[in-house]
Amino acid sequence: MERIEIQGGGCAHCAEKAGTSRREFIATSAASAVAALLLAACGGAQGPSGITGPFSFSVLVSNYPALANVGGIAQVDSGGAPIAAVRTGASTFAAFSLICPHFGCTVGINRSAFQCPCHGAQFASNGTWIGGQRTSNLAAYGTSYDATTNELTITN
Query: What residues line the site for ligand FES (CB under 6 A)?
Result: 13, 100, 102-105, 116, 118-121, 133
State the nearest-atom distance from the C-beta of 116 to ligand FES, in Å: 3
Measured from the CB atom, the residue of 104 and 127 that comes closer to ligand FES is 104
Query: CA distances (Å), 154 to each of 15, 57, 82, 85, 95, in order?
Result: 31, 6, 12, 9, 7
Measured from the CB atom, the residue of 93 and 96 that comes closer to ligand FES is 96
Handedness of CA 64, 66, 70, 75 (dihedral sign): negative
Instruction: Calculate the CA 148 to chain-centre distance.
Output: 29
State the nearest-atom distance from the C-beta of 5 to ligand FES, in Å: 22
CB 13 within 8 A of CB 103: yes
Pairing of strands 4-5, 26-27: antiparallel
Measured from the CB atom, the residue of 86 and 105 that comes closer to ligand FES is 105
State the nearest-atom distance from the C-beta of 12 to ligand FES, in Å: 9
State the nearest-atom distance from the C-beta of 134 to ligand FES, in Å: 9
SS (H, E, C) 96-125: EECECCCCCCECEEECCEEECCCCCCEECC
Measured from the CB atom, the residue of 106 and 125 that comes closer to ligand FES is 106
φ, ψ at 55 (rounded to 5°): -150, 160
State the nearest-atom distance from the C-beta of 141 to ligand FES, in Å: 19
Measured from the CB atom, the residue of 80 and 120 that comes closer to ligand FES is 120
